[in-house]
């Protein structure tokens, strides 16, 4: 018999990066509802404090820039200290949700912009996986979920930098699933399509309709629908699932 | 329990070997039990035992029991003489 979500997550912590974004907030809420302690990471201190006020002590805000290597190390030291002092339960889950999306044709993409995509969408989640897996391996269990994209899975004209960064994260996901399985850590990803968040809020009505023509479901997805998929992969219900990329896209062709 | 004994316990626990096999000369990848997976578990065990968080460079350098002691000393874990 598999252990239930509430049994496991009520005694565990989950770190969510990009916690104040649309999908981030939804997965934070989902984890809190399951009884988990959530380390909510973001750069917007006011938004983090607001989350903290509404969620109470089950939510521990962590304000730092995910692409600042030293800040990430300091954060994990802080996290490790809280766990060893009994302030928070052991780290079981990591959701790499923080990301940025650049829409830019090849001819006008600056190298600095490409590097920024790679820093935030690939290197930052990679470092988080490196540090989180060390904490998880102490208990020989853990679950990591990366938020990738259908743009990375299928490609999209005018979005090569973003697509490359997300496709690289998919590659890391599949490889780390194999590498970390012996220590009881699962690594999966969700690949959202067109989701109603701040990343897509600049699309006007006409642009949205043009996108919806390429979505079989004919509409945008919601952050909650993505969070449901993340939560499934995070939970013991997916205990025998690793190295997978779960599309949450209403059947989308970017 | 002194730090030397804690270190031996961490190695025996992580690598699944007998305590008498944990000598300063024991080196990474020279016994089947100390492979890359076990190395990760060992790092976690040492961090947990001594309540430290090792830098990646130190994890890369941790190629023997003797080296592990030297590295841990950087984190104020002393082994006496």
Q: Which ipTM did the prediction report?
A: 0.87
Closest residue in A to B55 (Cα–Cα): A73
Portion of chain A with pLDDT greater than 70, in percent: 98
Average pLDDT over residues B37-45: 92
- The answer to whether the CB atoms of A76 and B53 lie below 8 A apart is yes
Portion of chain A with pLDDT greater than 90, in percent: 91
Res A2 pLDDT > 60: no
Class of domain A5-248: alpha beta
Distance CA A126, CA A234 (A): 17
Contacts with B, A 51-80, CB within 8 Å: 73, 76-77, 80
Tell me the CA distances in angstroms from A18 to A21, A28, A172, B79, one per residue in order.
6, 10, 19, 42
CB of A250 within 8 A of CB of A222? no
Q: Min CA distance, A18 vs chain B (Å)?
A: 24
Domain parsing of chain A, residue ranges: 5-248
Average pLDDT over residues A144-162: 97
- The answer to whether the CB atoms of B44 and A182 lie below 8 A apart is no
- Report residue A154 CA to chain centroid gap: 19
Residue A232: count other Cβ atoms within 10 Å of its Cβ: 17
Give Cβ neighbours of residue B32 (< 8 Å, ≥ 6 apart).
Answer: none
Compute the mean pLDDT over every residue in chain B, rounded to the nearest whole number. 94
Closest by CA position to B22, among listed B44, B43, B7: B7
What residues pair up with A93 in beta bridges, in sequence order?
A14, A143
| Helix A111-118 vs helix A160-180: crossing angle, to nearest 10 | 30
* Structure confidence by residue, pLDDT tens digits, A24-41: 999 999 999 999 999 999
Domain parsing of chain B, residue ranges: 3-74
Res A1 pLDDT > 50: no
Q: Min CA distance, B54 vs chain A (Å)?
A: 10
The dihedral over CA atoms of B4, B6, B9, B14, expressed in degrees to the nearest 10, equals: -110
* Structure confidence by residue, pLDDT tens digits, A83-111: 989 999 999 999 999 999 999 999 999 99
Predicted TM-score (pTM) of this structure: 0.94
Question: Which chain A residues are within 8 Å of B33, Cβ to Cβ?
Answer: none
Give Cβ neighbours of residue A107 (< 8 Å, ≥ 6 apart).
Answer: none
Q: Token pair of A176, please?
A: 């780390």
What does the pLDDT read at residue A6? 63
Helix/strand/coil for A59:
strand
What does the pLDDT read at residue A242? 98
Average pLDDT over residues A159-188: 97
Q: Token pair of A55, please?
A: 């969620």
The dihedral over CA atoms of B43, A146, A225, A59, expressed in degrees to the nearest 10, equals: 40
Res B17 pLDDT > 80: yes
What does the pLDDT read at residue A3? 61
- The answer to whether the CB atoms of B41 and A183 lie below 8 A apart is yes
User: Which CATH number fits the domain B3-74, given the four candidates 3.30.499.10, 2.30.30.100, 3.40.50.970, 1.10.1200.10?
Assistant: 1.10.1200.10
Q: Min CA distance, B59 vs chain A (Å)?
A: 11
Question: Which chain A residues are within 8 Å of B41, Cβ to Cβ?
Answer: 137, 140, 183
CB of B77 within 8 A of CB of B50? yes
CB of A173 within 8 A of CB of A96? no
Helix/strand/coil for A85:
coil
Compute the mean pLDDT over every residue in chain A, rounded to the nearest whole number. 94
Give Cβ neighbours of residue A163 (< 8 Å, ≥ 6 apart).
Answer: A149, A151, A152, A155, A156
């Amino acid at each position: 018999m598999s252990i239930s979500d509430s049994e496991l997550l009520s005694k565990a912590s989950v770190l969510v990066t990009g916690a104040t974004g649309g999908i981030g907030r939804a997965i934070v809420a989902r984890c809190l509802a399951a009884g988990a302690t959530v380390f909510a990471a973001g750069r917007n201190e006011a938004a983090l404090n607001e989350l903290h006020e509404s969620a109470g002590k089950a939510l521990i805000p962590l304000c730092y820039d995910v692409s600042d290597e030293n800040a990430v190390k300091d954060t994990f030291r802080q996290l490790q200290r809280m766990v060893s002092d009994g302030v928070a339960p052991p780290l079981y889950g990591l959701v790499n949700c923080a990301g940025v999306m650049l829409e830019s044709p090849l001819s006008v993409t600056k190298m600095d912009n490409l590097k920024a995509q790679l820093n935030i969408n690939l290197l930052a989640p990679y470092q988080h996986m490196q540090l989180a897996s060390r904490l998880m391996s102490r208990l020989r269990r853990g679950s990591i979920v990366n938020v990738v994209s259908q743009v990375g899975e299928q490609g999209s004209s005018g979005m090569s930098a973003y697509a490359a960064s997300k496709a690289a994260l998919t590659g890391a996901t599949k490889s780390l699933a194999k590498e970390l399985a012996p220590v009881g850590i699962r690594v999966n990803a969700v690949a959202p399509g067109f989701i109603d968040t701040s990343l897509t809020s600049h699309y006007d009505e006409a642009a949205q309709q043009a996108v919806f023509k390429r979505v079989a479901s004919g509409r945008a997805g919601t952050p909650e629908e993505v969070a449901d998929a993340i939560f499934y992969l995070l939970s013991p219900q997916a205990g025998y699932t690793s190295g997978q990329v779960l599309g949450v896209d209403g059947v989308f062709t970017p | 329990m002194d730090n030397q004994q804690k270190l031996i316990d961490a190695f025996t626990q992580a690598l699944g070997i007998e305590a008498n096999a944990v000598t300063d000369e024991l080196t990474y990848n020279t016994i089947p039990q100390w492979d890359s997976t076990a190395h990760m578990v060992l790092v976690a065990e040492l961090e947990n035992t001594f309540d430290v968080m090792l830098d990646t460079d130190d994890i890369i350098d941790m190629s023997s029991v003797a080296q592990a002691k030297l590295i841990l000393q950087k984190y104020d874990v002393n082994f006496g003489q």
